[in-house]
Amino acid sequence: MFDFTEKDAARWEKRRAGGKWRFVLRSALLFTLSSAVIVLFLDLFSGSSLGDPIYYLLLLPFAGVLGSLGAWWREEGQYKNYMLDRHIEKILGSDH
């Protein structure tokens, strides 16, 4: 993990303002489309089939949603920890 900064918090506040499901759907769509392009490229230019396309039509969106939910929970947890640390610093003062 990395240290969550004020810049990271501001960026996450903008993203989370759109809501969890918008974030998840956009991220999952980006993952699915980019992965599909890679799979198609490999399938067309490697000379061997990577399997049934229906498998990818089901697997990629599912993996995208799971990965996006994981990303949301990770970012939200880091953001909440950052905000809690800032709150504690205000209460205790900057010398602690």
Closest Cα to residue 62, out of 39, 28, 35?
A: 28
The domain in which residue 19 lies consists of 6-92
Residue 32 has pLDDT above 90, yes or no: yes
Average pLDDT, the chain: 89
How far is it, in rounded angstroms, from Cα 25 to Cα 12? 16
Residue 21 within a domain: yes
Residue 35 to residue 12: CA distance in whole angstroms: 25
Residue 7 pLDDT exceeds 80:
yes
Q: What percent of the chain has pLDDT over 70?
A: 91
Mean per-residue pLDDT for 54-77?
A: 93
Task: Please indicate, yes or no, if residue 10 is contained in any of the structural domains.
Answer: yes
Is pLDDT at 50 greater than 80 in this prediction? no
pTM score of the predicted model: 0.81
Please state the separation of Cα 73 from the chain's center in Å.
Answer: 9
Q: Is residue 1 assigned to a domain? A: no
> How many structural domains is the chain composed of?
1
pLDDT at 24: 97
* Rounded average pLDDT over 68-83: 96
The answer for residues whose C-beta is within 8 angstroms of residue 28's C-beta and 6 or more apart is 61, 64, 65, 67, 68
